[in-house]
Amino acid sequence: MQGDSPGDGQRITKAACRLSEGECVLTWHWPSDIQYVKICSFAAGDELASEQENESRWKVYTREEYKARGGYRVPADFLGVRVFRIYPCVMKEGQLTALRQSDSEHVARFNGGRAKLRCSIRYGWGWFGKHRSAKLRLTCEIPVPKEALCYVKKSGGVPLHPGDGTRYPLHRDLSAGVTELPEIQIGREDRIRIFLTDGRLYGDLYEIVPE
């Protein structure tokens, strides 16, 4: 994003989000010298992409609109964590220009709920040999990056956590909808299970449930 840094009396502060009657309500403290802001919103993890987007796609919001509506309101119909950035704007050479604010006072986050990842595992029983096949099927409400998930193999029982057995990564991102992973060969006494790779990082975004 291009633009000068805000000066005294131009910084956005105290940005916050709350849920009210099915809406996400974004509020902040308006600086005394600012009448317009531009609001950029994006899914958590997409910060770089959001900054590279054309600034004209961001929402322009006025001080009067804010007063009339008691904040900036959007339907709370999204999944996962949504990040909002509010940039103060000034008129420069006849155009509304967003100022670059580098602190976090103009940033608010809202958790719209966890997306469900429904998982089923189908085992193929062989009559002979030491191995059998396993097929994993995932149904995702939203796209999921491969880094968020792993599967764990354990002999003699079902894995209880990502460290309870041998851990394997996923090799491709998952799109919304149904994905069937390639069939794998495991031992006859092995069991497998899908886990989030990092509960602290992805636990607010996704919930794995049996299908």
Instruction: Give the amino acid at 49.
Output: A
Contacts for 55 with CB less than 8 Å, ≥ 6 apart: 1, 2, 38, 98
Number of other residues whose CB lies within 10 A of the CB of residue 87: 22
CA distance 87 to 41: 11
| Statement: residue 10 has pLDDT above 70 | yes
For the chain, percent of residues with pLDDT exceeding 70: 91
Which two three-digit tokens encode residue 122?
């189908």
Tell me whether residue 105 is exposed, middle or buried, using C-beta atoms within 10 angstroms of its C-beta: 0 to 12, 13 to 18, 19 or more: middle
Please determine, for residue 56, whether its predicted confidence score (pLDDT) is greater than 90.
no
In terms of C-beta density within 10 A (0-12 exposed, 13-18 middle, 19 or more buried), how is residue 208 classed?
middle
What CATH number does the domain located at 115-210 have?
2.60.40
pLDDT the model gives residue 1: 45
Q: Place 127 in a pLDDT band, splitting at 50, 70 and 90.
A: low
Confidence class of residue 153 from pLDDT cuts 50, 70 and 90? very high
Domain 13-111 -> CATH class = mainly beta
Domain-wise residue ranges, the chain: 13-111, 115-210
Q: What's the gap between Cα 75 and its chain centre?
A: 17
Please return the burial class of 6, using the count of CB atoms within 10 Å of its CB with bins 0-12, 13-18 and 19+.
buried
Query: What is the model's pTM?
Result: 0.62
Whole-number Å distance between alpha carbons of 79 and 44: 11
Average pLDDT over residues 38-66: 77
Same fold, 13-111 and 115-210: yes
